[in-house]
Structure 1
Amino acid sequence: MSTLGLLGQVELPAQVASVPQARSYVRDLLDGVGHPRADDALLLLTELVTNSVRHSDSGRTPDGRITVAIAHHNGTLHIDVIDAGSSTGQRPRVCPDTDPDSSGGRGLWLVQQLSSDWGWYETSAGRVVWCQLGGR
């Protein structure tokens, strides 16, 4: 079984201001591998980081942190956003009646539509929300 090759990982404050920092970091990583879906990857990263900041315990505490990890294998890009999870029981889910023209509530819908696969799982340190993009 082959493993993913880690391109990079960065820890950031769980604040809205970290969204462009995460994008810039990942853009630089993707420039190095020339992934054909870099624009899609940056959009999905933006949605995952924004959700993490808005909906996780990391974003609810002044010193909360999130981690972004990017890996690549055989043309597939793997994006992880790791946060503290949610003590309120809130779980990542696609809103059932997502309106593509609305200004909010479309983050995971976009992830579901554009990624080749996505999901989430809990760890002892918190929650990982991930997605994958194949090179088309």
Structure 2
Amino acid sequence: MSLPLNALYHCSYSIYFHLVACTKYRRKCITQPMLNRLREIFAETLQKWEGELIEFNGEADHVHLLMSVNPKVQPSKLVNNLKTVSSRLIRKEFAEHLVKVYRGKPVFWSRSYCIISCGGAPLAVLTQYIQQQAKIE
């Protein structure tokens, strides 16, 4: 799959991240309706950050997001906002289910997460390309 090049006024870019977020204590509490709602929440939140949700899926205790972002975004702040907004809304909309899992504590996501940059050419190809640039004399 060829990844498109996006543009702002002063730059062109192609920035993709793979994010993995786990539930607090890795509790298997995500249901299919919750997964569907999380997809909506993440897509809407990323749109506000001028990004896009490319792919999304998950299991009972974690989710995976493939997202496109622009260069103005600080990844740690984006992840914090994605987790905060989704936790607040999921805890509100699925309170009856989650109160049993977390005994009324206002938690949903674990503090930790994994974010990996992805897309474009492999590092070996980029390294070779840079090494083959013409020498300045």
* TM band (smaller chain): 0.3 to 0.5
Relative contact order, higher structure (CA 8 A, sep 6+): 2
TM-score normalised by length of structure 1? 0.35
**With structure 2 as the length reference, what TM-score do the two structures score?**
0.34
Of Structure 1 and Structure 2, the greater helix share is in 2
